[in-house]
Amino acid sequence: MSEEDVRERLRASTLAPSDAEFAPTEPPSPEDGLELLPMFYDARSGPVALATALGGWNTLELAPEGGAVTAGVIVPPDRRPRLEPIAERLLEGYLHYFLERDCFLAAVHLEVARRPAGDVLDAARADLHAIGSDVIARGAIRAKLLGTDGARLSGADIERGIRATDQDWLDRPTWGERL
């Protein structure tokens, strides 16, 4: 199936994960290396990184001179938080935008090529659900950092989740690495 065929089939679909499909990716451990942790800026002197911690996700404020200080441990949502209508539209728009990015299907093709059997359409849909799950979970984490419970996310929460997620998914290897 060509990339355009995959995009054409998914364009008319809802790409955000349903309650049953919500499964955010757990961040790496700090012992894996700070450079591997998902990071975002949050009006602090340095970026904030997310890492696995006992009982939740550790938020680490990275110091400009090196190292990190724990900003807190926050429990990620175990089920999909409710999204305000504007947040739903923003998430859908972002996932449709991600679908159109050149690197997205190149990464999906590499994933499918590494499996014994696979369908590009199903893999693309699963990746979009995973991206959406990460955006929602990281938006909820950032909402909790700001003092709310993260159970209902606004458009601003989803924007913060996108900023805390986007680079991780862009940095994935693509089929071009096989050339």
Give the model confidence (pLDDT) of 83-94 as tens digits: 999 999 999 999
Total residue length of the chain: 179
pTM for the whole thing?
0.92
- Identify the pLDDT of residue 176: 59
83 is written with which tokens? 């999204």
The domain segmentation of the chain, as residue ranges, is: 3-24+77-178, 30-74
Q: How far apart are CA 147 and CA 152, in angstroms?
A: 13
To which residue do tokens 């680079």 refer? Answer: 167
Top pLDDT among 176 and 48 is at 48
Which of 16, 21, 150 has the alpha carbon at shortest distance from 76? 150
DSSP string, 3-70: HHHHHHHHHTS--S--TTT--PPPPPPGGG-GGGS-EE--SSSS-EEEEEETTEEEEEEEPTTS-EEE
- Identify the pLDDT of residue 142: 93
**Mean pLDDT in residue range 102-124:** 82
Q: Is 140 exposed, middle or buried (0-12, 13-18, 19+ CB in 10 A)?
A: buried
Residue range 137-176, pLDDT digits in tens: 999 999 999 899 999 999 999 999 999 998 888 777 665 5
Phi, psi at 6, each rounded to 5°: -60, -50
DSSP string, 135-160: HHHHHHHHHHHTTS-SSEE-HHHHHH
